[in-house]
A and B are shown apart, each in its own frame.
Chain A
């Protein structure tokens, strides 16, 4: 028999009511405030251009940038696609390489001792300095850019995942041993899931770095005039004093970075929200 629920008014004291109101205001403010500031900044940008009579090739007005983005959409978005392809591919390779290597490290301390310093060397040497070498040894343009972005992106995944694989509760490792778990079973059922939060943290960093890597690589390579990603659009626009297009390309890159970050955060949330502390706090 369906029963009709009568909503009981809950009696709340003044302090609790204040807390609820505060939480509501904070929740609205968390998206409204940045939006207001953003709109205000754009408006100010526009006013500064008008008040000072700044020419378009120095600082274009926001409206002009927007029109350029729409007018040059074909060119810009096809370039974006090129950059995005390098970013995604290099990120995927960074995941494979980083996770693969960290799994190898946890299988043997000796392998970790031998190889980890090389990973650090690769990480601390500025990619711009390495690139001329890559330029000499690698012919294919895509491979060049991929390699470059990969070098930048794989280290956070490697170091985070290694940390995660080694941070498993000792008692759980003992428990698996007690139950006669093989090395493979311990890795698959215990170490890898336990490393997941660390890996996802590394992935979030690596996502941004892969984009930076892809753009920087193209910048360095782009002077040879062979590439067609967003970075070369920026260089090209710079040479031609086409500031509106330069801004449009810049905004596209930055939007792409934000989308990558949000996407990876969302994946992380999906994977962890039921059990990991870091994801629980976001939920509230």
Chain B
């Protein structure tokens, strides 16, 4: 289990301005430690998804540096989970999870132990041959998570992965992802606009403000893991949620104050 104190990823004064002239990010400084479960929490338009895309290398920053602490990040090291399950609709669950390995030249047969293991971890054993349309929204998201984890990445980037799911399913997946995270010790950067979700999952929350997107505040969530259903109803959780919610309100209040000027 990593100690969550050694820096793993440092964003140094990242800025992003689109060709349209919109400034999505301005001077974003952020340190993610090895083994962190960090949430990026903010209103829509605060550039949290843009930040994630820049970290993933899907988009380049206009200014600033993405510093992986000197270690050149291989493609294996990043797992990405989108808001939508983003699966190949024609491929079976097995073949969907195989995709990242297949693109790295691993044959279907060779990939078998890895795929079987990760499918078991997300409770999808027995569904190998189903195609996405035969699965529920929650199950599709599990496939997407399995696909993100099958390469054993050091960091998992998640872009509002559970936003489209119903609450019961979301709680279940919250528990599952925490379990996986504790077991495997990878680092998570989790984009969300849900205060409750971010408090339940993270050990640190970065609250962002919008127009332009920037880091507003960082909050440690000092509640011990494992966190379970009891934690969801505890006074501590309620208190942490209130704090976080206040900070988010202030982040959004600042935005309106700016607009008035």
Contacts and interface: CB of A to CB of B under 8 A. Distances in A.
A240 interface: no
Contact count band on A: 20 to 34
A175 B80 contact: yes
Contacts of B57: 178
Contact of A185 (B80, B82, B103, B133): B103
A108 interface: no
A179 B58 contact: no
B135 to A, nearest CB: 12
Contact of A276 (B56, B88, B89, B103): B89
Contact count band on B: 20 to 34
A81 interface: no
B66 to A, nearest CB: 14
B86 A179 contact: no
Contact of B58 (A169, A178, A189): A178
Contacts of B58: 174, 177-178
Interface in B66-105: 75, 78, 80, 82, 84, 86, 88-91, 99-100, 102-104
B160 to A, nearest CB: 12
B132 interface: yes
Interface in B2-49: none
A179 B100 contact: yes
A252 B124 CA distance: 53
A140 B103 CA distance: 47
Interface of B: 53, 56-58, 75, 78, 80, 82, 84, 86, 88-91, 99-100, 102-104, 131-133
Given A190-B88, A280-B133, 7 more contacts: A178-B57, A178-B75, A179-B100, A179-B104, A180-B103, A275-B90, A276-B90
